[in-house]
C-alpha cells in the first residue's frame, strides 16, 4: 500500500476545506441549503475518488441515494456530478489534475467567482428572483406553456437526455413567469411520459460571468440529471433560447456534457488509480 497516498487522503477529509464544506455548505443552521459546489486539485483517478466518496458518506450516516456521474464542464476540468448524501443537498465536486496534490483545495482563482466552495439555498434564490418582474399566468398562458412541452425543442431535449454519450443536458429557455410554474407543468409532462423524479432543485449557474436560473431534475426513471435553464424575457411566455449560453459548440438551444469529453480529460494526465485495499483503508480512516 502507498502509505503517503492513504495518509494524504485521510488528511484532506479532516481538513478545514472539507469540514467547512460539510458544516457550512451542506448543512447550515442559519439557512436552508439546496445545492453546493466544491473545487479540488488531485492526482487521484476519479474512479478511485468515487468509492471513497461513497464510503465517507456511509460512515457519516448519510449514505448516497443516487449514483454519481462523471462529467467535464470545461477543458481540463472533471467532476463527480450529483453526489447526493441522504437528507443533505446534492453537490458537485470539480477537480483539476495536479501531480503534486493528493487531494487539496483548488486555488480560489481557478474555482467559481473566486471561491473554491459555494452553496445556494432558499435565501439565495429568493434574492435572485427579486430582480425579475414575473408575469401572472392565466388559462391562455398555461396553454402556451403546455404547448411547449409538445414542441420539437422539447422532443429534442428528451432525445438528448437519453443519448448514450450525453451525461448531462441543459435545455435552454426564455420565460416571463415564475419558474415554479415551469416546474409544475414539467412535472405533469414527465409523468405523462412515464418518467419519475426524486425532486426538483431550483438553482443558478454561471453563464459567461453572470448567474442564470435553472431547475435541476433528479430523475429516478430514467436515472439521469437534467436541467431546464431559463432566462427572463418579458417579450415571450415561453420559447427556446437558441443563442449560445455556457458553450458555443453544442446543438443550438442546449448545453451538453459528454461522457467522451470526460474520458479525454482524464486520459490526458497520469491520474493514480488505487487498489481496492487502498480505497478501503481511506474509507476506514474517515470513520
pLDDT in tens, 215-241: 999 999 999 999 999 999 999 999 999
Q: How many domains does the chain have?
A: 2
89 and 165 inside one domain: no
- What confidence score (pLDDT) does residue 16 get? 97
The closest alpha carbon to 129, from 203, 193, 35, 185, belongs to 203
31 and 73 inside one domain: yes
How far does CA 122 lie from the centroid of its chain?
Answer: 17
236 and 274 inside one domain: no
170 and 277 inside one domain: no
249 and 273 inside one domain: no
213 and 102 inside one domain: no
272 and 170 inside one domain: no
Give 129-163 pLDDT, tens digit per residue: 999 999 999 999 999 999 999 999 999 999 999 99
248 and 132 inside one domain: yes
Q: What grid cell was written down for 47?
A: 474512479
140 and 115 inside one domain: no
- What confidence score (pLDDT) does residue 1 get? 60
List all residues 6 or more positions away from 131 whose beta carbon is below 8 Å from its beta carbon: none
Query: What secondary structure letter does DSSP report for 138?
Result: -
- Grid look-up 443550438 returns 252
Instruction: Output the pTM of the full model.
Output: 0.95
Residue spans of the chain under pLDDT 50: none
CB 28, CB 88: distance < 8 Å? no
146 and 241 inside one domain: yes
194 and 229 inside one domain: yes
Task: List alpha helices for the chain, DSSP H.
Answer: 3-12, 16-20, 46-59, 122-129, 139-148, 152-161, 179-193, 259-267, 276-285
Q: Give the angle 245-246-252 at the CA atoms, nearest 5°.
A: 50
275 and 251 inside one domain: no
- What confidence score (pLDDT) does residue 287 get? 78
How confident is the prediction for the chain on average, in pLDDT? Answer: 96
- What confidence score (pLDDT) does residue 182 get? 98
Domain that holds residue 34: 3-120+264-285
- What CA–CA distance (Å, rounded) separates 4 from 168? 35
List all residues 6 or more positions away from 4 whose beta carbon is below 8 Å from its beta carbon: 102
The closest alpha carbon to 241, from 171, 184, 151, 145, belongs to 171
Give 261-273 pLDDT, tens digit per residue: 999 999 999 999 9
Q: Give the angle 80-37-128 at the CA atoms, nearest 5°.
A: 140
Amino acid at each position: 500500500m502507498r502509505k503517503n497516498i492513504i495518509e494524504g487522503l485521510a488528511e484532506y477529509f479532516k481538513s478545514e476545506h472539507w469540514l467547512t464544506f460539510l458544516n457550512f455548505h451542506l448543512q447550515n443552521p442559519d439557512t436552508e441549503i439546496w445545492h453546493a459546489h466544491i473545487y479540488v486539485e488531485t492526482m487521484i483517478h476519479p474512479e478511485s475518488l468515487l468509492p471513497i466518496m461513497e464510503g465517507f458518506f456511509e460512515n457519516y450516516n448519510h449514505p448516497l441515494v443516487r449514483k454519481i456521474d462523471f462529467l467535464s464542464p470545461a477543458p481540463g476540468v472533471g467532476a463527480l456530478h450529483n453526489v447526493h448524501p441522504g437528507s443533505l443537498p446534492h453537490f458537485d465536486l470539480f477537480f483539476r489534475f495536479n501531480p503534486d496534490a493528493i487531494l487539496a483545495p483548488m486555488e480560489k482563482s481557478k474555482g467559481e467567482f473566486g471561491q473554491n466552495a459555494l452553496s445556494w439555498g432558499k435565501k439565495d434564490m429568493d434574492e435572485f428572483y427579486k430582480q425579475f418582474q414575473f408575469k401572472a399566468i392565466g388559462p391562455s398562458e398555461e396553454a402556451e406553456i403546455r404547448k411547449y412541452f409538445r414542441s420539437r425543442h422539447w422532443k429534442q431535449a428528451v432525445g438528448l437526455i437519453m443519448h448514450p454519450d450525453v451525461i448531462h443536458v441543459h435545455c435552454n429557455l426564455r420565460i416571463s413567469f415564475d419558474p415554479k410554474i415551469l416546474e409544475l407543468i414539467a412535472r405533469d409532462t414527465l409523468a405523462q411520459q412515464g418518467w419519475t423524479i426524486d425532486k426538483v432543485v431550483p438553482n443558478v449557474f454561471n453563464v459567461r460571468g453572470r448567474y442564470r436560473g435553472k431547475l435541476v431534475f433528479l430523475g429516478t426513471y430514467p436515472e439521469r440529471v437534467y436541467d431546464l435553464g431559463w432566462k427572463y424575457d418579458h417579450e415571450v411566455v415561453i420559447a427556446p433560447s437558441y443563442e449560445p449560453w455556457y458553450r458555443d459548440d453544442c446543438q443550438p438551444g442546449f448545453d451538453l456534457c459528454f461522457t467522451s469529453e470526460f474520458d479525454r480529460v482524464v486520459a490526458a494526465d497520469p491520474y493514480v488509480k488505487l487498489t481496492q485495499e487502498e480505497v478501503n483503508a481511506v474509507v476506514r480512516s474517515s470513520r
